[in-house]
């Protein structure tokens, strides 16, 4: 092998020497070598070696290795530019003459910078056709003490399509003891059109405004245009740490967050940046372990502090609303009052600084304010806010300051705000606190539990001040048994000291038990409960509890779930009010793609899954069995997550052997409050076998080729004229060719459900040209 390479090198030298346009010194040699760059084999190639033993590579090699410019001045040889390896800072070249291997090392600084985003990839949201659904909650209550039955319900109808969706919340109650016994209340009626590409939503009707730092959320009937980050759920809006490192050879990166493996990536030689590494809120440490093909490791370490209060640099969050204040919510239908408007805009000026502006008004009040959140390098977030209002009461001012820090084992925060007596907010009937201080500190002792202390102080202009002190402690005692306790002291006009303990134990299989003991100025109470939680699929749950406070009580209940809904029964009996019964059901009725279905609650989105026309095929959502297809081959899948990838899968074992199957699982991302149709490509076909014979009964020769006209598929004829056709879905015309002869045959589509249908002898009529 080495001799052969030397012969190749000599031959290459002769070829390159003839007709060369320009050559360096006569002592330059042309070699064919097996080239390795940073331990990566690049294959055989030409290189030059000068009298000093230095090596030169051509321009195409540098381009292939992605060596960063600028490059040194080249040497010309046979019209080709060659570059000395020694002229690149830190680069080395070594020839192993025994094997004719040239091993070149290029430092990582010469390689390109490679950016690797750690964020998940979005799935395109789908909107298909028109449909409707309605979630409902119905309850009937019988109170033994007054021998009366009342009913109430909540209905949430939705109509959706490419235009967006129209949704409503409607409450119904029938209280026979009331003078106004029956009432139907329209709580909300809203048209929504989401725009995932621009991450925004247009809403018309009953809307809620964004709750800013210097204001409060308002319920308004009108028009709203607002950012909606929920349309891009994989987008992380707050700044995440970036990580910089470099490696000279291809390496595998293991990324550890606070000592736990978070993700693994492969990286090519050169400098690399890991963009937007997902980490937990608060302070922590990130380690990146780079392991090359030889098992050598480099460890990079970086501290970080993450705050979800901040916006990523360049990202904006806004909400603009104009309409009228909603009045008598839940009591009167479509009751609106004064003209009102609200505008909020937040922007990440940098990864450490987020600013906010807010304004709101009614006919007799206007308020403007600004706020800022700043992430400090030492770890923590400082926030400030200033607001001004002008109303009939006068001009008022509000100021607030805050600091928050969270580490792996400890957290603390303090917020101070104060308002002048004339400061007012839209929609608020109460004056703002003169001074409010909210502070807390917590410590995680790990196996010894966690402790938190908090203090809230409020001072008012027109009523006495109050202070609440509280201490909470929780600990896992052993196994699945845990305990939590609290002590709270209220210092106000009426002082009160309260305390409580809670014990919880899990038995597995969705079963658990808990007990609570509490005491305050109103007395001492205790209760205990054992329960079985309802599974995510069809099944049941129950609870049984006893307790004593101002009177003794016993309660019990059961809940069951199937593909059509959830059903519950509860009973509670105490010595004063007697026995009360409550029966309830909740579910949904939906329509799409010609299918009307009662199911469990849709909530946000659903899918109609079609599996050809096959009945009884199991369908899974995120590996949880949802149900089986009906006689039309369809099944309804509620509870999908809008704008996120939902994995839907069919059970292959339920598909007949004579069926053609495309994909057995698909990912779908429906719009909010809508449905999608998911079609699995499953076609039931039939396999047939028969004996192809000529009119005189002679079997067609072995090796003849049968061609199905409408598909073009080809099948060989076997011994004694036997022909096996796979995947026939109709009667088929077939052409058979052999040794220059051609005949035609009509193959009937068999009846029945046999996987392989035997058709006997079929005559193939010779074609007359």
Rounded distance between C-alpha atoms, residue 755 and residue 686, angstroms? 6
Longest dimension (CA), the chain: 115
pLDDT, residue 204, reads: 97
Count of C-beta atoms within a 10 Å radius of residue 684: 14
pLDDT, residue 177, reads: 55
pLDDT, residue 21, reads: 36
Phi-psi region at 14: left, alpha or beta (left = phi > 0; alpha = psi -120 to 50):
alpha
Rounded distance between C-alpha atoms, residue 377 and residue 761, angstroms? 87
Tokens at residue 620, please? 């899974």
Q: Which of 690, 685, 695 is nearest to 744 (CA)?
A: 695
pLDDT, residue 181, reads: 52
Q: Are 367 and 353 in contact (CB under 8 A)?
A: no
Q: Are 652 and 684 in contact (CB under 8 A)?
A: no
Backbone angles phi, psi at 201, to 5 degrees: -140, 140
pLDDT, residue 264, reads: 78
pLDDT, residue 136, reads: 96
E strands within 236-391? 243-247, 251-257, 260-267, 270-275, 282-292, 297-306, 316-326, 336-350, 353-362, 365-375, 381-391
Q: Say whether 286 sits in a helix, a strand or coil.
A: strand
Count of C-beta atoms within a 10 Å radius of residue 315: 19
The residues, ordered by sequence, that sit 6+ positions from 492 with a Cβ below 8 Å of its Cβ are 464, 465, 466, 467
pLDDT, residue 66, reads: 76
Strand order in the sheet with 722-728: 722-728, 686-693, 756-763
pTM of the model: 0.75
List, run by run, the mean pLDDT of 10-residue segments along the chain (769 residues): 44 40 51 82 83 84 80 82 86 85 82 64 72 95 75 94 94 69 82 93 94 88 95 82 70 76 74 67 74 74 77 93 91 88 95 94 93 87 94 91 85 92 86 91 89 94 92 90 94 91 89 93 91 89 90 90 93 83 95 90 93 90 89 91 91 83 89 93 84 93 91 90 84 89 90 78 87
pLDDT, residue 555, reads: 92
Q: Say whether 230 sits in a helix, a strand or coil.
A: helix
pLDDT, residue 214, reads: 83
Rounded distance between C-alpha atoms, residue 226 and residue 201, angstroms? 6
Per-residue DSSP letter, 180:
T
């Amino acid at each position: 092998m080495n001799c052969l390479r030397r012969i190749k090198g000599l031959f290459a030298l002769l070829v390159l020497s003839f007709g060369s346009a320009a050559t360096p010194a006569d002592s330059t040699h042309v070699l064919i070598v097996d080239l390795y760059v940073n331990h990566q084999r690049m294959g055989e190639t030409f290189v030059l070696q000068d009298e000093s033993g230095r090596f030169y590579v051509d321009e195409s090699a540098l381009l292939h290795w992605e060596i960063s410019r600028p490059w040194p001045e080249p040497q010309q040889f046979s019209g080709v530019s060659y570059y000395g390896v020694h002229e690149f800072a830190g680069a080395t070249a070594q020839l192993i003459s025994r094997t004719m291997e040239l091993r070149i090392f290029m430092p990582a600084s010469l390689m390109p910078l490679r950016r690797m985003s750690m964020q998940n990839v979005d799935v395109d949201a789908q909107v298909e056709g028109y449909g409707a659904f309605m979630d409902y909650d119905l309850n009937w209550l019988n109170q033994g003490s007054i021998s009366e039955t009342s009913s109430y319900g909540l209905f949430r109808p939705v109509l959706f399509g490419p235009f967006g969706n129209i949704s409503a919340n409607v409450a119904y109650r029938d209280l026979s003891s009331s003078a106004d016994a029956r009432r139907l209340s329209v709580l909300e009626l809203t048209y929504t059109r989401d725009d995932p590409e621009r991450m925004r939503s247009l809403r018309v009707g009953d809307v809620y405004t964004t709750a800013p730092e210097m204001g409060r959320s308002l319920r308004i009937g009108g028009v709203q245009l607002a950012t909606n980050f929920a349309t891009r759920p994989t987008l992380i809006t707050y700044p995440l740490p970036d990580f910089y490192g470099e490696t000279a050879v291809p390496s595998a990166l293991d990324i550890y967050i606070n000592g736990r493996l978070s993700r693994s990536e492969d990286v090519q030689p050169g400098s690399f940046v890991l963009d937007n590494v997902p980490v937990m809120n608060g302070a922590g440490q990130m380690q990146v372990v780079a392991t090359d093909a030889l098992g050598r490791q480099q460890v990079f370490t970086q501290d970080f502090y993450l705050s979800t209060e901040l916006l990523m640099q360049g990202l904006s969050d806004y909400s603009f609303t104009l309409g009228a204040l909603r009045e008598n919510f839940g009591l009167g239908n479509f009751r609106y009052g004064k003209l009102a408007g609200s505008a909020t805009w937040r922007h990440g000026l940098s990864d450490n600084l987020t600013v906010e502006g807010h304004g709101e008004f009614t006919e007799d009040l206007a308020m403007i304010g600004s706020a800022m959140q700043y992430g400090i390098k030492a770890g923590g977030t400082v926030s400030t806010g200033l607001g001004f209002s002008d109303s009939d009461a006068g001009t008022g001012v509000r100021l607030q300051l805050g600091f928050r820090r969270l580490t792996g084992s400890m957290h603390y925060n303090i917020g101070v705000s104060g308002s002048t007596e004339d400061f007012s907010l839209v929609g608020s009937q109460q004056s703002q606190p003169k001074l409010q201080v909210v502070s807390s500190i917590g410590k995680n002792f790990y196996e010894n539990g966690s402790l938190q202390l908090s203090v809230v102080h409020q001072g008012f202009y027109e009523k006495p001040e109050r202070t609440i002190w509280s201490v909470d402690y929780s600990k896992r005692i052993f196994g699945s048994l845990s305990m939590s306790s609290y002590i709270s002291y209220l210092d106000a006009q009426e002082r009160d000291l309260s305390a409580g303990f809670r014990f919880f134990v899990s038995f597995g299989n969705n079963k658990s038990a808990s007990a609570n003991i509490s005491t305050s100025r109103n007395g001492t109470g205790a209760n205990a409960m054992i329960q079985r939680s309802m599974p995510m699929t069809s099944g049941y749950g129950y609870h049984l509890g006893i307790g004593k406070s101002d009177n003794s009580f016993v309660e019990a209940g059961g809940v069951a779930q199937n593909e059509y809904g959830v059903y519950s029964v509860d009973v509670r009996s105490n010595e004063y009010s007697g026995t009360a019964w409550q029966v309830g059901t909740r579910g949904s009725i939906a329509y799409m793609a010609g299918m009307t279905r009662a199911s469990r609650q849709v909530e946000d989105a659903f899918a109609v899954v079609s599996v050809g026309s096959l009945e009884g095929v199991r369908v899974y959502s995120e590996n949880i069995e949802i149900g089986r297809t009906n006689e039309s081959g369809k099944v309804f899948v509620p509870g999908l997550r809008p704008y996120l990838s939902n994995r839907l899968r069919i059970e292959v074992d339920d598909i007949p052997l004579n069926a053609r199957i495309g994909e057995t699982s698909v990912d779908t991302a429906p719009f909010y409050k809508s449905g999608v149709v998911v079609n699995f490509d499953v076609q039931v076909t039939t396999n047939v076998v028969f004996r192809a014979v000529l009119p005189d009964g002679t079997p067609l020769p072995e090796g003849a080729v049968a061609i199905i006209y409408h598909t073009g598929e080809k099948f060989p004829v076997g011994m004694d004229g036997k022909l096996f056709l796979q995947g026939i879905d109709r009667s088929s015309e077939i052409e058979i060719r052999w040794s220059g002869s051609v005949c035609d045959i009509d193959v009937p589509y068999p009846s029945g459900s046999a996987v392989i249908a035997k058709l006997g002898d079929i005559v193939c009529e010779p074609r007359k040209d």
